[in-house]
Amino acid sequence: MTANGARLRSSIPNQITVARLASVPLLMFLILWDSSVTRVIGVAIFFLAAVSDAVDGYLARSFKQTSVFGKFADPIADKLLIVGTLVCLLQLGELGKLGAVWVMIIIAREFLVTGLRILAISEGQVIPASILGKLKTVSHIVLVMAILVGRSFSVGSWIEVAKTASLSLAVALTVVSGVEYFIRSRKLFA
């Protein structure tokens, strides 16, 4: 393979990450515009952006081309996708009376764990993603998809149960995974 081919191949995961970052303001606009068409397009864009997270990670590992940019930008893109969408849904009243509390718990956890990772890097350590952290991400995606699908399609009253259950699971995994990261990293504070 030529050097140009290897460079192109290694940059594909980063290009996917950049596309996911770029999709966030578009997705927020579509959610807030709130028409039947923008709702459906929003579901599709969120789904593609969420899937792209797994795809860029898989490609980076397959090509053995992880990069500093990817390690930095990929988790930022994930957080912006979820938080941006949740903030829009909160503004539209889709998260119930305690929606602001739930969104703040999610945002606080992301800030705290990101700060912890920055502290670890300054100490020459890396805090890898845990299985609980990955499950937390999946639970956030399921939560947002349940809400977006429920507001976009006639899927019946069961969607309210799915939204409530996925919100409870997402918040629980947010808290538990955040605590787990701090327990695993307690030596940083010694």
In which band, very low, low, confident or very high, does the pLDDT at 165 lie, cut at 50, 70 and 90? very high
Summarised one tens digit per residue, pLDDT across range 178-187 is 999 999 998 8
How does DSSP classify residue 128? P
Residues contacting 32, CB < 8 A, separation 6+:
88, 91, 92
Res 109: pLDDT: 96
Res 3: pLDDT: 53
Summarised one tens digit per residue, pLDDT across range 79-127 is 999 999 999 999 999 988 889 999 999 999 999 998 998 898 888 888 8
Rounded CA gap, 173 and 136, in Å? 5
Summarised one tens digit per residue, pLDDT across range 117-163 is 889 888 888 888 889 999 999 999 999 999 999 999 888 888 889 88
Domains defined along the chain, listed by start: 3-189 (1.20.120.1760)
Residue 6 has pLDDT above 70, yes or no: no
3-state secondary structure of 10: helix
Do 20 and 49 touch, CB atoms closer than 8 A?
Answer: yes
pTM of the model: 0.87
